[in-house]
Amino acid sequence: MIEVEAQSPPAAPRLRRLRSTFGAIAGGLGVASVPPVLPDRSDMTRALAAVFKVLAIDLVIDIGAGSGAFGTMARAGGYGGHIASFEPVPSLFAGVEALAAADRRWEVSPVAIGAGAGTLPLNIMDLGAAAARRATITRRDVAMRSLDQVLPPLLARHDARRVFLNIDAPLREREILAGAEQSLGWIGAVQTRLGTTLKSDGMPHYLAILSLFEAKHFSPHRFFPLGEDLAGPVDFTCCLVSNAKNGTG
């Protein structure tokens, strides 16, 4: 394996302050299900394309790739760099692997990303055509690695300098960041989901997630609503940018 740990992350390009949609906000470990529908594709695609361009993103790490929606959207926005997707749910992995087969710059791995190497007990929810209350849940142990383990060889193999991290792994954000201490300096921006109300399934409140990323020197840049409720709180997808002065996290 090529060793790259001795390298220093490049200085982060200065991201001009674009207007964030802050005004739009109204207020069980390892569970995997069919991914939610992404917010307005055109709005998010344009916004992320601008972030990719300004930050000179040349590697996308897609954690919890689901059906490959994020990678597809990145391509639709004009991103032509490398994508590394991680999806441990077998049925979803097969789908995104087939989607990426025709794209030589898109690779897919059937592992979960967490705090370290090992296995992750995953409760896989198969909704099928039935209502959520009748969903079938099966338990499966999947292989797990940390971002600090998978990123160095990706950086070396693709000669990448700046990373965009997409996380769609509810309840596991803290573990993912715990295994990314040496990787944060390479990451120019992160996208993750935010829940604005306390959920019965244990999904963390959005303030807890924002505080978690703030402690790692990432600040909100854009919010994209995941619902159409005009009179109550909705969940969001949030893009955060690194505010580390020298790009070393």
> Is 175 domain-assigned?
yes
Full-model pTM: 0.79
Nearest to 60, CA basis, from 157, 138, 175, 163: 163
At 38, list the tokens: 């992404």
Q: What is the CATH number of the domain that holds 92?
A: 3.40.50.150
The pLDDT score that the predictor gives to residue 35 is 47
In the structure, what pLDDT confidence band is assigned to residue 189 with cuts at 50, 70 and 90?
very high
Per the CB < 8 A criterion, the answer to whether 23 and 225 are in contact is: no
Q: Does 103 map to a domain?
A: yes
SS3 189: strand
The identity of residue 142, as a single letter, is V
Is residue 156 domain-resident? yes
Residue 33: per-residue pLDDT: 42
Q: What is the number of domains present in the chain?
A: 1
What mean pLDDT, rounded, does the chain reach? 82
Please give the pLDDT value at position 42.
Answer: 79
Q: Is the dihedral of CA 223, 227, 231, 236 positive or negative?
A: negative
For residue 29, being part of any structural domain is answered with: no
Tens-place pLDDT, residues 95-126: 999 999 999 999 999 999 999 999 999 887 76
In the predicted structure, residue 39 carries a pLDDT above the cut 80: no
Domain ranges, residue 41: 35-113+146-242
Backbone φ, ψ for residue 158 (5° rounding): -105, 5
Position 196 scores a pLDDT of 81
Mind listing the pLDDT tens digit for each residue in 52-70?
Answer: 999 999 999 999 999 999 9
% of the chain with per-residue pLDDT over 90: 59
| Phi–psi pair at 57, nearest 5 degrees | -65, 130
201 — pLDDT class (breaks 50, 70, 90): low
